[in-house]
A and B are shown apart, each in its own frame.
Chain A
């Protein structure tokens, strides 16, 4: 069939760019490989490599532009465009659609690599060839993720330009494609509404730039090992490592801020696997950056410098694998589905792991043995991996072999340091800090990887219910050690420190931190001593660095970058400690009446029921639910917060409108609303609500009563309707039978009920009547409240009666079940983030300047 209006040419252009980008990345990596050998051909190889990488860059930019044009013009004949965008979407979300999909996010990553590569071509000088060889090689792998070709029935990559909607296997025989003009009638699925916010515009590019930046220290480390320039690579790699620390750190924190503002995690950090997966490479990169600082002066801990630089990039690949392979399954809220590329990702990850480890072994013979073992394992793996690529003992064997080789290489072949470093030197304590970061990362990634261990060893482990406390058990002590190291390290000098001077310089900060942390611990009512210790070490780091910046380097802002960044980091941890440990779930235990009537011990009662119009106490506030508003697919629930003033009347403080998004793609999603104050935040989110419009329901059922509820009551007992309190006062046999229209011989007993709503008092007297040995109760109504009572039974033995209660359906007022929390001093955390970024920028600028001055 001839379809009308399809733009197949643009896909062809895009596909040409894809092929070009792959081919020229390959050419660039080969050419750079030869260019990094020292012989007379070097120069011509280098020229070729440069041109090849530039063509690759143009092709990548071509891919990006083509895909962007397709999205902006709504070419729904392409599956990617149809899948991720629609016509109604404002232009500002086109970027978000671009990287919503897996292909787009890999493209974003590739794009940043290209940019970094182009900068490195100009700045890397002697290291250009070996560094760019690695980066080009990484680009080969990333470019192949877009190829979408089949090799031996395995699909390599997914190509957004060749997958047409009407040819997509999921939509075979879909009726619309029987029409030649289907494009006139079709609209895209659109961007997931959950992602239609500014976070989705800024978070992915930042995070992926952070990911991309880790490739530079990796490439430099590989170059250093390969060219046997074991220390020379460090100086040029330093600013890159710290740029990575800054950008990746910003990306991770942005993720936390997004979770806090827009997702109902109930906090900014939930130790979710996806969060951990990007936190861990950040930690190792921080370690890498700091040992690089030390080793550029005297190579004391070179091995760990190489190891951290390499493992950071491997961990980035691992994090991509974890989040994109679907292996996390039910352990993460961010469940991503497998697009059939996880095997490919795993192979890339293992390849670069092999490359790094092989080079770290140093000894030529060992390298060959290791390579042979790797090759054998790879062949065994490929031939055995019939059904499941992860469930294979080959992988375990290979990993064990790698560790053994690495240890042997380290002990016997790695260049040894000449002298042992002094205990009182800066390098020693930074080295210790890096080790702590490694163990910290190891604990996080080990626990996050439980689903991976399950697959590898065929186990059935699951994370504990209280995941957070498992992480805190280890991470709080690590944080304490790190903070103390941050406090003291700058006061150590390289090589040897006069310990008396050192003690004198730190005394002031130590005393200030000690006094303030004790005062604050008492004021905050810390119950766990560990929290007090963490607070102390945070304050110690804060004061020591502030002191260092002011006294030692005399407020020279250019040189104070490190101190400022450390102050920021200390503030982040202090803010996290206070806001998390003192998080107050104010929606607890205030729904009074309902819990009493149940008389049970409720183990997990973080929710409050708010009926429309009622005012309930909640923590320091009183809250009222005013009803809901429908706006598009969002339903807003308006909640007012009051405080009681001295006169006993209420003052309105603020309103919050948490919402539930009736998301057609992901179901209903609650989005919190938070009121920010200087010293605390009030966070509110709806956990349950009736989403139907109340008017619709009321008109259908006007006048009807709900099903009866039965109660057994003694004198003085109280029961509740949705709008009143009912008290059983007495029984009376003093009944005017004629007025009720029953005969004199009938037995009639009335139950006097007092019905109280907020303002008024009513009476109800349902009658228990026995007429010719049959029970014929007479109902009693309170029309103002829409209540009806029946009196069914008297139990003389225990003095109780049985009453049933019915309510008019329109009586049942709208309600929400919600959670509210107070996060105290969370602003310290956000201020810390900003301070840390500013400090890191200053440090990087200073570092670049110094590098330049020395080379010229």
Chain B
């Protein structure tokens, strides 16, 4: 057996290892109800902030606790507990991605990502005051 063959086998083994561990280290997108079925696993849940119910952030009490209600893409609403600061501009978010687990009836999130509608696209041509 040539060295090249040994090296080749090692490489293929490493590549397969990389794929397998990498795939093992993924979370998946889910709805609240899917997340509730596997409360031990972390999920990405996409949804919208329920503006009617508002949000609670009292930094004087706890700067690392922010709660609000989110409606997921299947229309289900859950209370979200985020162990982080309230993101700046939270109210303007158009879509939210949460990373976390269901705990009881609440979704405990450790990360939050937001999409703002203004991103890269706002403003129409309009008259400006003469300066």
Residue positions of A touching B, CB distance < 8 A:
76, 82, 165-166, 170-171, 174-177, 182, 185-187, 189, 330, 335-337, 420, 423, 428, 432, 435, 438-439, 442-443, 446-447, 450, 459-465, 470, 473-474, 591, 594-595, 597-598, 600, 602-609, 611, 660, 664-670, 687-689, 691, 722, 815, 817
Contact = CB atoms under 8 A, between A and B. Distances in A.
B62 A595 contact: yes
Given A171-B124, A420-B4, A423-B3, A462 B28 contact: yes
A443 B18 contact: yes
Contact of B42 (A465, A597, A606, A607): A465
B63 A688 contact: yes
Contact of A605 (B4, B64, B87): B64
Nearest to A428: B3
14 contacts: A174-B124, A177-B125, A337-B120, A337-B121, A420-B3, A446-B22, A464-B42, A470-B25, A598-B65, A604-B64, A609-B59, A687-B84, A691-B88, A815-B59
Given A337-B120, A665-B120, A722 B60 contact: yes
B110 A463 contact: no
A438 B15 CA distance: 10
A438 B14 CA distance: 11
A434 B3 CA distance: 16
Interface string B11-30: 10011001101110111111
B67 to A, nearest CB: 13
Interface of B: 2-4, 7, 11, 14-15, 18-19, 21-23, 25-30, 42-44, 46, 57, 59-65, 83-89, 92, 95, 97, 99, 110-111, 113, 115-116, 118-128, 130
A462 B22 contact: no
B3 to A, nearest CB: 6
Contacts of A591: 63
B88 A815 contact: no
Contacts of B25: 464, 470, 473
Among B63, B110, B122: residue with most chain A CB under 10 A: B63
B57 A688 contact: yes
A442 B15 CA distance: 8
Given A462-B27, A689-B88, 10 more contacts: A171-B124, A185-B128, A461-B27, A591-B63, A602-B64, A602-B65, A606-B64, A666-B119, A667-B88, A815-B60
B120 A462 contact: no
A812 B62 CA distance: 15
Contact of A603 (B3, B19, B110, B120): B110
Contacts of A182: 125
A419 B70 CA distance: 66
A86 to B, nearest CB: 9
A186 B128 contact: yes
A513 to B, nearest CB: 26
A336 B120 CA distance: 8
Among A330, A660, A666, A689: residue with most chain B CB under 10 A: A330
Nearest to B29: A460
B7 A435 contact: yes
Nearest to A598: B62
Contacts of B84: 604, 606-607, 687
Contacts of A687: 84-85, 88
B85 A594 contact: no
Given A462-B29, A603-B83, A688-B63, A660 B125 contact: no
